Chain A
Amino acid sequence: MPEKRIVLRNCNAIKPNRISTYLAGGGFEALSKVRGMSPEQVIEEIKASGLRGRGGAGFPCGLKWELAKNSEGDGKYVICNADEGEVGTFKDRYILERDPFTLIEGMAIAGHAIGAESGYIYLRAEYHYLLDSLMKAIEQVRKRGFLEQFDIDIREGAGAYICGEESALMDSIEGKRGEVRYRPPFPPTKGLWGKPTIINNVETLMNIPQIILNGAAWFDQMGTERSKGTKVFSVSGDVERPGVYELMLGSSLRELVEDLAMAQRVKIVQVGGATGRIIPYSMLDTPLSFETVLGAGAITIFDESRDTIDIVYRTLEFLAEESCGKCAPCREGTEALVGILSKFSRGEGESRDIVVLEQLSQAMMLSSLCGLGQAAPIPVMDSLQHFRDDYENRIAEKMAVQ
């Protein structure tokens, strides 16, 4: 399947600092259409489209909106998660740089659907340079009168990976230390400042205006049975043509990695960033979908010159550094995993260390408070599954020296 531009349709086609170019291409028609619909109708349309969250977890978008709409209480919020902290993702940056208007329109539609009057864009600290252009874009939309019922403000992060996690993100907006909260209650019931809140990824919201204009049935016929529409991928690593690609969900990893990004001598593809799955070359025909592997669409390619244990070790070092430190299994577990992996990377690993790695991983997956701790052992477990020889060879090498 070739590239298909739905989310990125306006990127490089409009001028991001000129609302007139967006309006000329049918901009804000979806919002006008939505204003004539009831919130129930809008939510029904999104539910029927089968749109799922693009931030990695894949929660059904319409269902999230419905939960927030049905929650008691006023002062609801719409938050756009533009933290994009996942290692190897840069699709949201690409979108924010080139097409802020579709995002604003998507948020306004979400606001109408759940009955919210205000929303926030949570911008990651490293994207500070985009703040000015985003504020100007919002101001232009405001001047045209599209934000009279629903206004948008921007909040900046301070450089923590964990603040891309929705509950830590809300703590950060509230001015607290960015730490995860336990759930339930989920944000659609009790979110920002205790009010019903929806938090959607940039890419999810970018899909909304198109679904409203073209109808749920149009969206529903794209993709696979449980993964509808397209996905924007950020491809980096050992490839000739790194960059942002939008493909139909269900396309094979091989098509993206070898045909489009022109990678050669592929050894490992990490799908979904630091906490993503490790896919060996032999599994390159895996389709990209929520049913198989996807995450937030970060595709990092490692060729045959790379060392598996080194990749896993560096990944875990990153996760240990970024653990918020609230829950014991993640705080202590990531540190312990790093300790054991560093032994392997120095060539001092022992066979019993593999057992400890597995026990630790299992406990962390089962008991951590949030997705970071639950997913941190994935690179360890996947590498032990597909590249166990690499670990065992290290142990054998050590024995040979002794």
Chain B
Amino acid sequence: MKNIAITINGLQLTGREDMTIFEVAQANGINIPTLCYKSELPPIGACRICVVEVEGSRTLVGSCHTPIAEGMVVHTHSPKVLATRKVIIELLLASHCGTCFMCSKANMCELRSIAADLDMGLPQVPTRRLYYPVEDVSPYVIRDLSKCILCRRCVRACREIAKQNVFAVAYRGFESKIVVDFDQPIDTDVCRDCDVCISFCPTGALSRPSKVTDEKKGRPLIICD
């Protein structure tokens, strides 16, 4: 396969012709943030966090799905790109449930992590928040859709890796929601214990039902008597 020369942030780089901008950047240690892309899953270009500036292009382009082309000049962290990423993260945070302190994903949340990297404060955009009751019918997965950012990793992971097709998107626009069947809580009839979706969820929307950990099951350790 042919090699293609491109410029990213002033660096002369080469990549195979089937590679995307994101892949070339990653291979060369340039970190582009993303919320929907995972190398194990087919790209969908939904979160738009990975947008980059390509010289000559009218808009910014999604780096996770745009193939490289000869002579392409890319800026992954230009002021225009950073300003845009900040607005998108701010929008996601504004409609997000905002209970980080109580969230089990707290410091492992990818949304929070990108927000911290971009030096973001509290969101200023006035917008609605959608609250859904937590779904804990299934013994294998808890779904808290108030924390869902619609990255669709679970939809793709379930289809592509677990080879099931449990999740789908229903409703549209701001009301869009990841649903099971005709918007029913997930239960053991449709989903068995495979955990794949949970491991892909960037926020606390999908989690394992918590159990008492082994540390608390042993004989009580009594220090002095």
Chain A residues within 8 Å of B, Cβ to Cβ: 160, 162, 177, 179, 182, 184, 320-329, 331-336, 339-340, 343, 352, 356, 359-360, 362-363, 365-369, 374
Contacts and interface: CB of A to CB of B under 8 A. Distances in A.
B43 A182 contact: yes
B51 interface: yes
Nearest to B67: A184
B59 interface: yes
10 contacts: A328-B48, A328-B91, A329-B48, A332-B94, A332-B127, A335-B173, A336-B125, A339-B125, A343-B126, A374-B59
Given A182-B45, A184-B67, A327-B46, A339 B126 contact: yes
Nearest to A370: B45
Contacts of B88: 328-329, 332, 363, 367
A326 to B, nearest CB: 5
B126 A325 contact: no
A182 B176 contact: no
B83 interface: yes
Contacts of B84: 362-363, 366-367
Given A339-B126, A339-B128, A329 B176 contact: no
A182 B44 contact: yes
B173 A324 contact: yes
A328 B60 contact: no
Interface of B: 35, 43-49, 51, 59-60, 62, 65-67, 80, 83-84, 87-88, 91-92, 94-95, 124-128, 149-150, 168-169, 171-176
Given A333-B91, A339-B128, A359-B87, A325 B173 contact: yes
B66 A331 contact: no
B166 to A, nearest CB: 16
Please report whether the interface of chain B is mostly helix, strand, loop or mixed according to DSSP: loop
B106 to A, nearest CB: 22
Contact of A366 (B43, B60, B150): B60
Given A328-B91, A339-B128, A366-B59, A160 B172 contact: yes
Contacts of B94: 332, 336
B124 A322 contact: no
| A-B CB proximity, top 7 nearest | A325-B176, A363-B87, A332-B91, A182-B45, A323-B173, A335-B174, A367-B48
Contacts of B92: 328, 332
Contact of A326 (B43, B44, B174, B175): B44
A182 B174 CA distance: 20
A326 B88 CA distance: 13
Contacts of A362: 83-84, 87
Nearest to A162: B172
A17 B95 CA distance: 53
B46 A326 contact: yes
Contacts of A333: 87, 91
Contacts of B87: 329, 333, 359-360, 362-363
A323 B173 CA distance: 5
B51 A366 contact: yes
B179 to A, nearest CB: 11
Contacts of A365: 59
Nearest to A333: B91
A327 B149 CA distance: 10
Nearest to B125: A336
Contacts of B150: 325, 328, 331
Nearest to A179: B169
Contacts of A179: 169
Contact of A336 (B127, B149, B169, B171): B127
B13 to A, nearest CB: 20
Nearest to B64: A182
B102 to A, nearest CB: 23
A320 B91 CA distance: 14
A246 to B, nearest CB: 30
A320 B62 contact: no
A320 B126 contact: no
B51 A331 contact: no
A325 B171 contact: yes
B127 A182 contact: no
B73 to A, nearest CB: 17
Contacts of A184: 66-67
Given A182-B45, A332-B91, A369-B48, A339 B173 contact: no
Contacts of B169: 177, 179, 325
Given A334-B173, A366-B60, A356 B124 contact: yes
B48 A320 contact: no
A326 B47 CA distance: 8
A333 B95 CA distance: 10
A329 B92 CA distance: 9
Given A332-B95, A366-B59, A325 B127 contact: no
A177 B128 CA distance: 25
Nearest to B87: A363
A368 B91 CA distance: 13
A324 B43 CA distance: 18
B49, B87, B126, B128: most-surrounded residue (chain A CB, <10 A): B87
Nearest to A320: B173
A340 B126 contact: yes
Given A325-B169, A366-B59, 20 more contacts: A179-B169, A182-B45, A323-B172, A325-B150, A325-B172, A325-B174, A326-B46, A328-B48, A328-B92, A329-B48, A332-B127, A333-B87, A334-B174, A356-B124, A363-B83, A363-B87, A363-B88, A366-B84, A367-B59, A369-B48
Given A365-B59, A366-B51, A356 B173 contact: no
